[in-house]
Amino acid sequence: MATPATASRPMRADARRNRAALVAAARAEFAERAHEAAIEDIAKRAGVGVGTLYRHFPRRIDLVEAVYLEEIETLAESAATAAADADPFAGLSTWMQAYARYAMNKRNLLKELQEAFERDPGLRLQLRERLVASADKALAPAQAAGVVRADLSGDDLIRLVGGVCMSATATPDQNERLLDVILAGLRA
């Protein structure tokens, strides 16, 4: 996933800052423009030159993968927050909203991610496992408290929310309403 240059030796602090700024800028650009996001605009938004961008991410797909990994990381953090919520149903609800945002962002990366998945068939599976782990973690406390149906799995959650939010024509309003329906349906 990481480029050999960045994986083989520790980065200096300014290189780390640049890399983080590039990933953040790319996230924002992909969210706004999907596959039409331009490399030049990403560098500009990050406040670095295009040469710096290419040193960190030699190919566009490297940047797409880094953004997607960041989305999954954000989701994993939401699962930890959800699991720590004193109200387990509210915690699960928060995680589901985070997953809906993740799914909508993934939709913007999908066209280019397909390419990465075709190049590395294990990658899709590996990332899906991280997603399911995140969903399991968010689900467990609500099931332990008996407020959510015991027969549901993290994979079920992902399919329910993802199926709704990955649709190309879904509006934020409709997604919110449908998420609400799903949440109500999860109750034990």
| Residue type for position 146 | G
According to the binding rule CB under 8 A, does residue 170 interact with a copy of itself? yes
Please state the closest distance from residue 182 (CB atom) to a copy of itself, in A: 6
Which secondary structure element, helix H or strand E, spans residue 121, and what is its range?
Answer: helix 121-144
Q: Which stretch binds a copy of itself (CB under 8 A): 7-15, 50-58, 80-88, 169-177?
A: 169-177
Closest by CA to 124, choosing from 96, 142, 132, is 132
Backbone φ and ψ for 148, nearest 5 degrees, come out as -125, 145
| One of 40, 160, 168, 172 touching a copy of itself (CB under 8 A) | 160
Please state the closest distance from residue 48 (CB atom) to a copy of itself, in A: 39
All residues at 6 or more sequence positions from 9 whose CB lies less than 8 Å from its CB, including other chains? none
Q: Which stretch binds a copy of itself (CB under 8 A): 33-41, 66-74, 119-127, 171-179?
A: 171-179
* Total interface residues for a copy of itself by CB under 8 A: 24
Beta bridge partners of 148: 187
Do residues 75 and 131 touch, judged by C-beta distance below 8 A?
Answer: yes
Closest by CA to 135, choosing from 188, 98, 169, 177, is 98
Calculate the alpha carbon distances from 139 to 27, 64, 131, 147, 179 in Å. 27, 29, 12, 10, 15
Q: Which stretch binds a copy of itself (CB under 8 A): 47-55, 67-75, 78-86, 160-168?
A: 160-168
- The site map against a copy of itself for 120-159 (x = CB under 8 A) is -----------------------------x-xx--xx--x
111 vs 177, which CB is nearer to a copy of itself?
Answer: 177
Q: Under the rule (CB under 8 A), what is the footprint of a copy of itself?
A: 149, 151-152, 155-156, 159-160, 162-164, 166-167, 170, 174, 177-178, 180-187
